[in-house]
Amino acid sequence: MFKRIILAYDGSATSKLALNLLLTSLKPGYDSEIYVTSVFSHIPDYLSFDDASYEELVAKATVHTQHIADEAVATLNEAGYTAVETEVLDGPAYKAILSVSEAREADLILMGSRGLSDLSGMLLGSTSHRVVRRATCPVLIAR
């Protein structure tokens, strides 16, 4: 059984499929910890004119991303899962997901096949593909 599960969640259709897969595959009450991990793209500091406006941009992105993670947590809590935490990070999504996975010593990463960045995924390689190639634990992709 998987003890520590990373659920990469960005509110996209496939991340919602990953959430539903978790709900149907793991019954509440198992001794599993779920880490809902949501990531926003790093905001380059050259986009702002001063430190205060840059900090404001980061704060807004953090609040928005936390709201997305909270949606998944609410769904999990309503289904009876209690050992749920959120991780809201900035940066490339695959690096953030792998970082949380390593820090939490994850037994499984669960994520959607396509997130909200389809164009960059087609050009540079998808987040899920990069996570699968670099993860040190099993990765389950919902599609």
CATH of the domain at 110: 3.40.50.620
Q: Give the model's confidence band at 47: pLDDT under 50 very low, under 70 low, under 90 confident, else very high.
A: low
- How many structural domains compose the chain? 1
Distances (CA, A) of 99 to 55, 91, 92: 23, 11, 11
Strand pairing partners for 6?
35, 109
Comparing CA positions, the residue from 37, 67, 53 lying closest to residue 131 is: 37
Among 39-43, 46-50, 118-122, 133-137, where is mean pLDDT lowest?
118-122
The verdict on residue 85 lying in a domain is yes
The verdict on residue 4 lying in a domain is no
The verdict on residue 3 lying in a domain is no
106-141 pLDDT tens trace: 999 999 987 555 555 554 458 999 999 999 999 999
The verdict on residue 41 lying in a domain is yes
pTM over 0.75: yes
CA distance 14 to 111: 8
The verdict on residue 64 lying in a domain is yes
Q: Containing domain of residue 60, as a range?
A: 9-142
